[in-house]
Amino acid sequence: METYYILQNYWWFIMSVLGAILVFLLFVQGGQSMIISHRTEEERSLLIHSMGRKWELTFTTLVTFGGAFFASFPLFYSTSFGGAYWLWMLILFSFVIQAISYQYRSKQGNVYGHRFYDVLLLINGIVGPVLLGVAVAGMFFGTEFTVTKSNILNTQAATISTWGPLHGLEAIACWKNLLFGFMVLYLARTLASLYFINNIDDEAVNKVQHDMLKWNALIFVVLFLATAAVILTNNGVQVDADGNAMWEDYKYLTNFLQMWWVLLIFLAGVVLVLFGIGKTVLKPDYKCGIWYAGIGTILVVMSLFWVLGYNDTAYYPSLLDTQSSLTIRNSSSSEFTLTAMSIVSILVPFVVAYIAYCWWAMDHKKLTRDEVAESDH
């Protein structure tokens, strides 16, 4: 049983790493949301070519994150993806139109023109981060579902969870979820400006992005502070040794205080993000802010996942039936499955190293207008 406990914790750690990398890579969506900030076609093409080098990493990480959740915590996958499907369908649709846009925007014979695909990229740039933020916020603030595990044996039941008629769309109406969603959007926009400043060698683009960085960072910091205040003062679901779930005041604040090492990582991440932003704003010729802010983002998101799932906390609280709330104990795969998957997870560092190498190969030379003019993709 102790081994099973360790495996559950280990796979929640893996999910936190994947989730953190996904949030960082959302700078692609943040950049797409700023396409209209550049007036000339040349500048917009520079931005799109820059993001075009990375959009597949974001899409692949999103799919990997969902697949890993399915394998390690299948009850969450069935409950959320199978019940709140309208919310997830909107998210996936926005990413589908993103893929179409990058593939066909500059293709010969494009009868719709660049503007049509730019609009699709803009939609994904706004809708993607906001709705992903709304979906994750439901893990902190709760969602409206009930779980009936006996439905597993009922061949007439499509899912084991029961949702309201809106099937996830009701989450968009919650102001806490929207606050979280727009915070994610402006984080993505801030990271995008830092990435463009690092990746594009063009004076006009850098000037616009420095101006955008100041406003995006200011709005992000305000939204982040508001979101952090709401999370720390919000109730969470505590689960005792017998599996009984009950609401507890200031649960996430308690988790931070009891798991002091998580709090230190969280604060270190915040400092790195602010340092990356601040130095880039104060020194216009500084280009490396994306790395400090990116690493800081990953640390902050990982620590939030740990506060969400560890310390006997329900990471998916039910607002309708507290006992239906999901934890890493009652929603995970079997010990055999987690053990087999853990062996495969040894390959993760090699995959990360490969991604890092591909990133370096694509970005070691800064993007210029001449390179974009010579490209037909």
pLDDT at 374: 60
pLDDT at 1: 65
What is the mean predicted confidence (pLDDT) over 308-315? 94
User: What's the chain's average pLDDT?
Assistant: 88
- pLDDT range class, residue 210, cuts 50, 70, 90: very high
Q: Which residue has the tokens 């990271």?
A: 191
d(CA 272, CA 316): 29
Please report how the helices 2-25 and 335-344 are oriented relative to each other, as an axis angle in degrees rounded to 10.
50
Q: Which residue has the tokens 């955008």?
A: 212
Measured in residues, the chain has a length of 377
Distances 280 to 99, 210, 293 between C-alpha atoms, Å: 31, 8, 10
Q: Which residue has the tokens 């939204």?
A: 223
Most confident of 156-160, 237-241, 260-264: 260-264
Distances 26 to 29, 94, 218, 259, 289 between C-alpha atoms, Å: 5, 13, 18, 28, 16
- pLDDT range class, residue 161, cuts 50, 70, 90: confident
d(CA 22, CA 63): 10
Pairing between strand 161-163 and 145-147?
antiparallel
- Is 239's pLDDT higher than 60? yes
d(CA 174, CA 165): 16
- pLDDT range class, residue 369, cuts 50, 70, 90: confident
pLDDT at 367: 78
Please report how the helices 175-199 and 260-282 are oriented relative to each other, as an axis angle in degrees rounded to 10.
50
pLDDT in tens, 124-146: 999 999 999 999 999 999 998 88
- pLDDT range class, residue 375, cuts 50, 70, 90: low
pLDDT in tens, 280-303: 999 988 999 999 999 999 999 999
- For the chain, give the percent of residues with pLDDT over 90: 53
